Structure 1
Amino acid sequence: MLFYDFEVFKHDWLVVIKDTDTKTTTTIVNNSDKLKKYYEDHKEEIWAGYNSRGYDQYILKAILCDFNPKEVNDFIIVKRKGGWRYSKIFSQIKLYNYDVMVNRFISLKKLEGFMGNDIRETTVSFDIDRKLTDKELEEVVFYCEHDVGQTMKVFLNQIEEFNAHIELIKNFNLPLRCINKTKSQLSAIILEATEIKHEDEFEYEIVDTIKLSKYKHIIDWYKDPLNKDYNKRINIKVANINHTFAWGGLHGARNTYVDEGIFVNSDICSFYPSLMLEYNFQSRNIRDKNKYKEVYDTRMKLKNEGKKKEQQIFKIVLNSTYGAMKDKLSLLFDPRQANNVCVNGQLMLLDLIEKLEDDFELIQSNTDGVIFKLNSKDDLYLYKQICDEWCRRTRMTLDHDIIKKIVQKDVNNYLLVMENGDIKSKGAYVKELNQLDNDLPIVNKALKDYFIENVPVEYTINNCSNLKEFQKIVKISGKYKYGLHGDKKLSERVIRVFASRSKLDMGVYKVKASNAEIGKKPELLNRVEKIGNTSKRCFIENGDINNVNTPLKLDRKYYIEVANKRIRDFIGL
């Protein structure tokens, strides 16, 4: 397997390729013949890069076709056009390209930062209007090789993504060239979808298994032609909790809620796929509807057998299909069917709440489940009895889990302590962190320790000596020209900042740059803004900080204040 990365300037280009089999690194600079030879020798292998689906593969193909790579670079980056549109010849070039980038909104540098690795960047400007000097090329090669190595680390930290791709290809007998497809695209191929245009987006139906009385007016709202507009929504109280009904999943929660007792978390098993199957809400672009059922049945069989790993790839196909039905670029695009799923899903969940709310207290509702509080475990029989009747009528299935403690800021930020001691959490404040999502980890830990173990945040923060635990990763977006540390211009666009006690350290800022905004409002030119969620005094450490101890100047008081503020946000003080 090969990992690669291109860098393109006006008069120079280079690529660094690391071969995982031979453990060798190949660097090619401005030598198209050498690159063509390398490609011919390795075209049967998988080429992996970060954002290579959107960028690097087209630079490679451009050079193989003797096109100017700078023109293709600008076509993609400056003109913001898909590389595939530059030339039809590109599609004829064999390339088993795998894109390591799972979330297109997170840059490689930011992931490097989360891992605690070196995030310094080349000082060589990509706007240089001349040939690069040998020294400049040497520097660019150094940082390019670093990024390829970091891409490999990201790949290993999310190896399950690659394995899922491979398993989908193997299980459904797809050609290896499909390694370049997104999971949504793979689902469309697996389900043999073909492009069909539909003009009936809002001609959805309300299924007759939904039985509402108290909230029947919500059904009437969806039936009203005047409300068939994605800008329309209705806000009402359901079980004494504010809910919004619109064109997404149902959500509602008791804000700033903290309590212990007997709670039941009831999730609808594979909700959207079940709706699609039971009520024929699959995309009408799928040639054989039995294909989706086969995938569903296989997934449920493996799940019931406890084969969590094996069932995952089938779950990917099932779950990605709904989103694809709203994606205009997908072969599965069928917005009416997506609305059928969404509208009936909300009403079906509302139906469940209506049947339970007289006997139990609703704590939270979300897209595919509810949490109710019971007076005691003796209530569990009645609760499940009501749920079972709802399941028989709607042809859905519910899974029930017991919760013993809830700390809930709102529907998107909560922490659950399950009966068996497991912790489930959601939201920026308390979510489960990992190597590729690791911002202010010490504050996250302090909140969890406080809410679960009653440990004061001061104890958690003051007793941590690992600098990485205090990191805040900041990305300066393209809307800004550059960042500032005090009045010093920063060359990097991703920085790792720490709160500082030193009076010599200044805050971090960003300078406004958007030409469009400046054209409309000239006063925005060079406007300086403080970077959000950072201390008024910061020090920056963009080098590798793994196994680095905290310096004396680290302002622990700042992190304690942040943690306490977040606790107040949770409990409503």
Structure 2
Amino acid sequence: MLFYDFEVFANDWLVVIADTDNQSEKVFVNNEQALIDYYHEHKNDIWIGYNSRHYDQFILKAIICGFTPQAINEWIIIDHQPGWKFYKDFWKIQLYNFDVMTNKFRSLKQLEGFQGHDIRETSVSFNISRELAEEEIEEVIKYCRHDVHETMHIFMETITEFESQVELLKMFNLPLRNISKTKAQLSAFILDAKQPAVPRDDEFDFTFPDTLQINKYTEVLDFYKENKDYNKVLELNVAGVPHLFAWGGLHGARNNYYSEGYFLNIDVESYYPALMIEYDYLSRNVKDPAKFREVRDTRLKYKAAKDKRQAPLKIVINGTYGAMKDKYNGLYDPLMANNVCIGGMTLLLDLIEKLEPHCEIIQSNTDGVLVKLRHYDDYDLIDDICYEWEQRTRMGLEFDEFVKVIQKDVNNYILVDAEGNYKSKGAYVKKLNPLDYDLPIVNEAVVNYFVKGIDPEETIFNCTELVKFQKIVKISSKYSHARYGTRRMNEKVFRVFASIDENDKQLCKVKDGVAEKIAYVPERCFIENGDIKDMKVPGKLDYWWYWTLANKRIDDFLGEDK
């Protein structure tokens, strides 16, 4: 495997390539022929990069095809055009490219920052119009090498993505070139889905499931029958809970809800794939719909046996619905996507309607409902109601029991079970990981308070790891630069900490000469963009800023305005 990263300037370009097979490195600077020769030696290897699907692979292909890196760089970066449109024969260049970028809204520098790694950037500006000096080239190589190594770190953190994709190719005997495809593209390829020669014009000719039984909330059915506008939504009180019905699912929750008792989280198993199978809502572009059922059934068998082979099949199953709404995908079929979405919402409303007289509805979402039992003895009654719904709709339900619910709104909640384990969702309380590690001490303080009854002051003031107090800030392209006090900053990504030192300043973002505040950045902060993995908290850290923020978030959950 090769990990690679390109840097392109007005009159120079370079690429750093790390070969993991023999633990060697190659650097090419303004030497097209040497790079082309290297490519031919390694054209059967897998080339791995960050955002390489949209950028680096096209720089390489452009060089191979005789174009300048500057031309394709300008096409992608300045003109905001997709690389594949630059030259019609790019697809003929064999390149097994795998992109480790899993979130298009996160830059490589942000992910480096979350991990506590060095995020300092080269001082060599990409706006330099002259040829770079030798020392400038060396500095760019140093930082490019750093990014290649960071890409390797991210690859290891997300290696299951790669392993699943490789296993999928093996399962279906697909050529290695398919390693470059997105999950949605792979789903279409495996299901042999191709769009019709003449586009259909029936996007809103959807039908409700023939098993649907809604007697009380019929205005929801009327809303979808009469509405052909994706921007319209229906707000409705369902079972005492404010609900929103739209074209992407239903959502409803009791805001600022905090209670203990007997709770059941009722989820529909593999809901959207099941709807596609049982109600013939699969994309009409699929050559053999039975193959989709076969893939789903095989995955469920593997999942029950705790067989790792379930993971690659999940790519096909879960990628299909999204692909049905992508007009560039072979699975594109907006009518069937609407059938799945509306069918899923209305069948879930059907279940809520049946449950409503016998329990308290706490929350509902796209594929499930959370209820509170009036008495634990009501479990069998609820189970019977759910069983009738399952038999009638041909869907399957999964139950999870909880004893405490803390809910800010539909997108932010904590569910705690009898053993003290918890499930959470939302920016305030989500479980963090090395590639999503922003203000971790605040998340920890909020969760500890609600789950374990620990005072936020104890969690925050007893922590000595600096990385837990980090706030990673990215200045978007909408802004010209960042400003720290009165000093213009050239970097785009910063790691900031609240400070009690009066010599420290505020970090702002600047647009059209006007400075704007950055969310969750304290009025006085210090910046540490070096590696901080093993650093301890310095004396100037403002613990109280984090304590105040944690308490505000706790109040937000409880609906208390202080």
Specify the alignment match of 2:527 in structure 1. Answer: 540
Letter in 2 for 1:63: I
Structure 2 Cα separation of the partners of residues 409 and 233 of structure 1: 22
Alpha-carbon separation, structure 1, partners of 2:171 and 2:74: 39
- Give the alignment of 1:472-483 within 5 angstroms: 472-483=471-482
SS in 2 for 1:428: coil
CA offsets 1:340-366 (integer angstroms, 9 cap, x no match): 011111100000000001110001101
Amino acid at match of 1:555: D
More off after superposition, 527-536 vs 554-563: 527-536
**What CA distance in whole angstroms lies between the structure 1 residues aligned with 2:72 and 2:413?**
46
Question: What is aligned with 2:213?
Answer: 211
Question: Aligned-pair distance for 1:419?
Answer: 3.2
Secondary structure of the equivalent of 1:219? helix
Do residues 371 (structure 1) and 370 (structure 2) align?
yes
Opposite residue 204 of structure 1, the aligned amino acid is: F
Q: Is the 8 A contact 2:479 2:510 kept in 1?
A: yes
1:455-466 alignment to 2 at 5 Å? 455-466=454-465
Structure 1 residues 421-478: Cα deviation after superposition (integer angstroms, max 9, x where no partner): 3211100000010000000000011111111111000000000000000000000000
Structure 2 partner of 1:57:
57
Offset at residue 25 of structure 1 (A): 1.1
Equivalents in 2 of 1:454, 1:421: separation in Å? Answer: 11
Residue 383 of structure 2 aligns with which residue? Answer: 384
Which residue identity lines up with residue 250 of structure 2 in the other structure?
L
Instruction: Report the CA distance between 1:503 and its aligned residue.
Output: 0.5
Match of 1:508 in 2: 507
The 5 A counterparts of 1:203-282 are 203-224=205-226, 227-282=227-282
Partner residue in 2 for 1:2: 2
Q: CA deviation at 1:37?
A: 1.4
Match of 1:516 in 2: none
Tell me, in whole angstroms, the C-alpha distance in 1 between the residues paired with 2:55 and 2:22.
Answer: 26
SS in 2 for 1:425: strand
- 1:558 corresponds to which of 528, 538, 545: 545
Q: SS of the counterpart of 1:562? A: helix
1:33 is matched with 33
Query: 1:471 matched to which residue of 2?
Result: 470
CA distance in 2, matches of 1:420, 1:55: 48
Give the C-alpha shift of residue 89 in structure 1. Answer: 2.4
> Hey, what's the Cα distance between the residues in 2 that align with 1:486 and 1:390?
62
Secondary structure of the residue aligned to 2:54 is helix
Q: How does 1:508-527 map to 2 (within 5 A)?
A: 508-512=507-511, 525-527=512-514
Deviations 1:194-233 (A, max 9, x none): 0222211100001221101111221122112xx1111221
**Structure 2 SS opposite 1:15:** strand
Cα distance in 2 for residues equivalent to 1:423 and 1:167: 32
| Shift, 1:40, TM fit | 1.2
Within 5 Å, which residues of 2 pair with 1:38-187? 38-187=38-187
Which residue type is aligned with residue 189 of structure 1?
F
How far apart in 2 are the matches of 1:193 and 1:422?
A: 42
Cα-to-partner distance string for 1:497-551 (whole Å, 9 max, x where unaligned): 0000011011110111xxxxxxxxxxxx211101111110000000000010000
Deviation, structure 1 residue 420: 4.0
Contact kept, 8 Å, 2:167 with 2:309, in 1: the verdict is no
Any conservation in 1 of the 2:17–2:26 contact (CA below 8 Å)? yes
In structure 2, distance between residues paired with 1:447 and 1:322 = 35
Deviations 1:138-195 (A, max 9, x none): 1100000000000000110111111111111111111100111101100000000102
Which residue type is aligned with residue 408 of structure 1?
A: Q
Deviation at 1:74, TM superposition (A): 0.5
The whole-number CA distance in structure 2 between the counterparts of 1:158 and 1:376 is 43
1:43-99 per-position Cα deviation (integer Å, ceiling 9, x unaligned): 110000001110101111111122111000001111111111111221111111100
Matched with 1:517 is: none
The offset of 1:270, in angstroms, is 0.5
Q: Distance in 1 between matches of 2:75 and 2:89?
A: 16
**Superposition map of 1:490-501 within 5 A:** 490-501=489-500
Tell me the amino acid that sits aligned with residue 424 of structure 2: S
Tell me the SS of whatever aligns to 1:358: helix
Instruction: Please report how far the alpha carbon of residue 299 of structure 1 lies from its aligned counterpart in structure 2 after TM superposition.
Output: 1.1
Once the two structures are superposed, what CA deviation does each residue of 1:310-367 show, in whole Å capped at 9, x if it has no partner? 2122122111100111111111110000000111111000000000011100011011
Structure 2 unmatched runs, 5+: none
SS of the residue corresponding to residue 480 of structure 1 reads coil
For the residue of structure 2 that corresponds to 1:252, the secondary structure is strand
| Root mean square deviation, CA, Å | 0.9
Number of the residue aligned with 1:520: none
Q: Whole-Å Cα distance in 1 between the matches of residues 219 and 129 of structure 2? A: 65
Structure 2 counterparts to residues 352-367 of structure 1, below 5 A: 352-367=351-366
- Alpha-carbon distance in structure 2 between the residues aligned to 1:69 and 1:159: 30
Partner of residue 19, structure 1? 19
User: How many residues end up aligned between the 2 structures?
Assistant: 558
Find out whether 1:314 has 2:301 as its counterpart.
Answer: no
Equivalent AA in structure 2 for residue 39 of structure 1: Y
The residue identity in structure 2 corresponding to 1:173 is N
Shift of 1:288: 0.9
**Structure 2: distance between partners of 1:7 and 1:306:** 44
2:53 counterpart SS class? helix
State the match for 1:417 in structure 2.
416
TM-score of the aligned structures, taking structure 2 as reference length: 0.98
Deviation at 1:418, TM superposition (A): 2.0
189-198 or 461-470: bigger deviation: 189-198
Q: 2:96·2:180 contact (CA, 8 Å) conserved in 1?
A: yes
